[in-house]
Homo-oligomer: A and B are copies of this chain.
Amino acid sequence: MGRASQQGRESRLRILDATLHLASERGYDGTTIGLVSEETGLPASSIYWHFENKEALLAAAMEHGISQLPLEPPEQRGTPYDELVHVRFARAVEMVTSRPEVWQFGLMLTLERRPKEPAARKAFVTLRRRLTDTLAEWWQATLPEEVADPELARKLAVFHLAAIDGFFVGHSADQGWDLERLGRLIAAGVVAQVEKWREGSR
C-alpha cells in the first residue's frame, strides 16, 4: 500500500467532513450528492466508489463525527462534591461545542420522524442512550450517600442531557447565549436541589 491508497483515504475523509458539515447546515434531504461533490471537488462517481449510497454516506459521516467526540468522564479523586458537578456540566458543554456539527445534525435527525428511519439517526440516538447510562452511573457514584438511589440518578441524567440539548438549541437560535455561563448557573441549581433533598432526608 503506497501513495495510491493514501490518496483514497484522504478523499474519503474529505467527503466525510464535507458531508457532516453540509448535513449540519441543511439536514438530511438538504445534503445532496451534488453539494458534497462541489465542496470536495470530487465527482459524484468518486463518492459512490467510497460509499454505497447516500444513506450509507450520511451514516458514515455521523459515525465519523461521533468518533471525534470527547466522551470520557472527568477524573474525580478527592474533589469536593459541588465542584464535581460543575466540572461535569462544563465537560458536557465542551462535548457539544468541540464538534458542533455532530450535535446539530444529530438533533435535526432526532426531531425528524420519517417512515424509514435513517441509519445516521439510529447511530445518534444510540449515542444518546449510551450517554444517559454513563451519566446515570456517574450521578449514582457522585451523589451524597444519603440521597443516592438509582432512580434519582437516572432522573438527573435525563435532566442533564435535556439541559445540554436545550442550551444547544438556544445557542443555535442565535440569541447570544453564553453556554459556559448557563452551564454554571444550572450546575448551581442542581447542587441546590440535591442539598435540599439531603436536608429532607435527615
Question: Within 8 Å of chain B (Cβ to Cβ): is A99?
Answer: no
Instruction: Judge whether A119 is part of the interface by a CB distance below 8 angstroms.
Output: no
The CA of A158 and the CA of B177, in the complex, are separated in Å by 8
Stretch at the interface among A58-66, A72-80, A142-150, A180-188: A180-188
| A113 to B171 CA separation, bound complex (whole angstroms) | 12
* In the bound complex, CA of A25 to CA of B175 (Å): 25
Give the size category of A's interface with B. 35 or more
8 Å CB contacts to B: which residues of A95-121?
104, 107-108, 110-114
Tell whether, in the assembled complex, residue B159 and residue A165 are in contact, meaning their CB atoms are under 8 Å apart: no
Secondary structure class of chain A's binding surface, majority of residues: helix
Q: Please give, as numbers and ranges, the residues of chain B lying within 8 Å of A111 by CB-CB distance.
A: 104, 107-108, 111, 169, 172
Give chain B nearest CB distance to A195 CB in angstroms. 7
**The one of B24, B129, B175, B196 that contacts A128, using a Cβ cutoff of 8 Å:** B175
Contact digits for A146-186, partner B, Cβ 8 Å, 1 yes 0 no: 00000000010011011111110110111101000010011
CB closest chain-B residue, reference A197: B192
A-B contact pairs, 15 of them (CB 8 A): A24-B113, A25-B112, A26-B113, A27-B29, A29-B30, A108-B108, A110-B172, A155-B182, A155-B185, A162-B163, A164-B166, A166-B169, A189-B190, A189-B192, A192-B195
Q: Which residues of A contact B (CB under 8 A)?
A: 24-30, 104, 107-108, 110-114, 125, 128-129, 132, 155, 158-159, 161-167, 169-170, 172-175, 177, 182, 185-186, 188-190, 192-193, 195-196
